[in-house]
Structure 1
Amino acid sequence: MSAAAPGQITVPDRLTRNVTAVRPEEADRWLAALPALVTAELARLRLTLDRVLDPGGSLALVAYVHRDDDLAPAVLKVSLRTPGTAHEAEALTAWAGRGAVLLLDSAAPDPGTTVLLLERLHGEIPLRSLAEPKAMLEATSLLHRLWTPVPAEHAFPGLPVPSPSAAAPDLPAEAGPLLAEAEEAAAALAGSATEEFLLHGDFHHGNVLAADRAPWLAIDPRPLAGERAYDLARLTLDRADTLVGSPGLPAAVRRRLHQLAEALEVDRDRLRGWTLVRAVDLAGAALTAGRRPDAELYLEFAGAL
């Protein structure tokens, strides 16, 4: 039997919360239709459901499946289509498995939904499972492979015009100087970039998994066309707790910036600027989501910059 009945497909609680937060006006309809849609895709692609992953993706139902034709394992990912997720299939097609999970099939059953069939990686072994020095070494090697020229006539969005002040209502008053500096850096950086590459958009250790055909492969891109320092800034902020919890935080942050910029031949000043902007942005998002400890962590990291 290649398809599970809709009642067998349970939507993870995290997905329900996130979709409701992102699209409150259509969340109930989209979530209610999701089990039947997954069942239809299982039948269309001739797949057998193994299990739905919980918590799965932040805006996607993710399921382990097997292909009926050859019993090969795969992953079915059914995502809410947002500006961030809209071009995932195009990026994976451009990379063609080089440094990233391999796309086996894609579809858009309706304007608000994207369906991806992906090779199965070892979801239980993220790059985060390695010690930080080794993880950073693997991450920089992988990121270097992902930074490729954007395809001709591509549809990838450019870097978002950053507006750290959008987080102002949620940020504590003492973050005012950081907010002002991030606002100034965002304006300067957005208008002075001189390169354009295909970027992952959300590259960190949690979005890299162990694989069979390569040691590590990236997943869950939020693809953009822009400068490499923007992409590297997200990796710079990864495992911020290990630096914030260590003595000599400013010196530790400077070392990380220097090491990553040198390893990937990225301008250090631009990396510092984008890291500040993205740290303040992540802090605001964490506060909005009720994750105050995460917000405080990003603000402390930003202060050390």
Structure 2
Amino acid sequence: MIVIPEDFARETVGREGESGRQWIESLPGLVDELMRRWSCAPDGPVMHGRVGIVVPVRRRGLPPMVLKVSFPHPGNVFEPDAYAAWGGRGAVRLFERDDERFAMLLERTGSGTLATIEDFDVAVAALGHVSRRLAVTAPAGLPRLADITAEWIDEITYAAAEFDNPLPPHVLEAALATLRELGPSQPGTLVHGDLHDSNVLIGEREPWLAIDPKGYVGDPAYDTFTVIRSLRFAHLLFSPDAAAEVLRGLDLFCDAAGIDRDRGRRWAQVRAVKSTLWGRRNGDEPWLIDVTDQLAEILI
């Protein structure tokens, strides 16, 4: 049986409580069952992210793969649907799926992520290229961003009042205007939902391959925020001309992605406002709140 990394087990139980403990205890047996069913053999040490483990495996007659098993959570439900819709276009390929167990057999690709690329322009353009590759018609049944964001006007308004309106009024109003104007009418495009450096692998059959999608239906410009609120962009906020540098990066991403620059800016701004209020409620580090506050104002 596989050995579950201690830090992953500890973090899962700390976050999920008793249900997390039971899932961790069942995980070695579950992985063994899945490998038998899918005729796989382990091929390397167990790796993990925040909510799941990844086991390198091999199956005769197929390229190297990984077995991914995630903690059962609503945010992970539509990941295999996104992979299936892309069919390997701009993302790793899906070979098998067990939705009840939140398990997938996925393509294994080269080592490293886009986060290892130091050149700012190259990395941001690569994110845009991946976004463009992923912009396909969404399959039926995925959550629609128009429905999700319809609730944000009240959420943002109440949260701002709860924290004694920490953002300037014009910053808050810009976000609410975007939700009223852009939220209800969105295209039927498949949206990754969490596109950033660490969720793009260095590939072989394609230069860059996305992982860990949320699987939404809506405006690809929605992903602009996770591109911009990243360590790659954060250092720009300490430069002498922070706003100009951030906006140049925004332009670079949107040009490569084929996203309307104004829509990208506006969706990033509204998500920055929502994120910084959420961060105050949920104990984000002060530096992250400060960075997100700055982005919310720069992006108006």
- The 8 Å contact of residues 240 and 301 in structure 1, kept in 2 or not, is answered as no
- The 8 Å contact of residues 195 and 227 in structure 2, kept in 1 or not, is answered as yes
CA distance in 1, matches of 2:261, 2:235: 21
TM-score by length of 1: 0.83
Comparing both chains, which one has the higher relative contact order based on Cα–Cα distances under 8 Å and sequence gaps of 6 or more? 2
Give 1:43's match in structure 2, choosing from 23, 36, 52: 36
What is the aligned partner in structure 2 of residue 182 from structure 1? Answer: 175
What is the aligned partner in structure 1 of residue 144 from structure 2? Answer: 158
What is the aligned partner in structure 2 of residue 127 from structure 1? Answer: 114
% identical aligned pairs: 32
What SS does the corresponding residue of 2:75 show, helix, strand or coil? coil
What SS does the corresponding residue of 2:74 show, helix, strand or coil? coil
- The 8 Å contact of residues 164 and 277 in structure 1, kept in 2 or not, is answered as no
Residue 47 of structure 1 aligns to which amino acid in structure 2?
Answer: C
CA distance in 2, matches of 1:72, 1:36: 25
Could you say if the C-alpha distance between residues 299 and 142 of structure 1 is closer, same or farther in structure 2, counting changes exceeding 3 Å?
same
1:119-178 residue CA offsets vs partner (Å, 9 max, x unmatched): 11224x111221110011222112111101123xx1111012233357558968633644
Return the offset for 1:115: 0.4
Q: Which structure has the highest helix share of the two?
A: 2
Is 2:293 the partner of 1:299?
A: yes
Return the offset for 1:234: 2.4
What SS does the corresponding residue of 1:272 show, helix, strand or coil? helix
Structure 1: gaps of 5 or more residues: none
Residue 260 of structure 1 aligns to which amino acid in structure 2?
Answer: F
What is the aligned partner in structure 1 of residue 87 from structure 2? Answer: 96
What SS does the corresponding residue of 1:122 show, helix, strand or coil? coil
Is 2:214 the partner of 1:222?
A: yes
CA distance in 1, matches of 2:261, 2:104: 36
Give 1:267's match in structure 2, choosing from 260, 284, 287: 260
What SS does the corresponding residue of 1:99 show, helix, strand or coil? coil
Aligned runs of 1:1-305 on 2, under 5 Å?
5=1, 8-14=2-8, 16-18=10-12, 20-21=14-15, 23-24=16-17, 26-49=19-42, 50-53=44-47, 56-67=48-59, 69-70=60-61, 72-108=63-99, 110=100, 113-123=101-111, 125-130=112-117, 131-151=119-139, 154-159=140-145, 160-161=148-149, 162=152, 163-165=155-157, 168=160, 174-175=166-167, 177=169, 178-179=171-172, 181-191=174-184, 193-238=185-230, 239-287=232-280, 288=282, 290-305=284-299
What SS does the corresponding residue of 1:270 show, helix, strand or coil? helix
Could you say if the C-alpha distance between residues 273 and 203 of structure 1 is closer, same or farther in structure 2, counting changes exceeding 3 Å?
same
- The 8 Å contact of residues 170 and 284 in structure 1, kept in 2 or not, is answered as no
Count of residues paired in the alignment = 288
CA distance in 2, matches of 1:301, 1:171: 19
Residue 293 of structure 2 aligns to which amino acid in structure 1?
Answer: L
What SS does the corresponding residue of 1:188 show, helix, strand or coil? helix
Return the offset for 1:19: 6.4
Return the offset for 1:254: 2.7
Structure 2: gaps of 5 or more residues: none
Q: Which structure has the highest strand share of the two?
A: 1
Could you say if the C-alpha distance between residues 25 and 149 of structure 1 is closer, same or farther in structure 2, counting changes exceeding 3 Å?
same
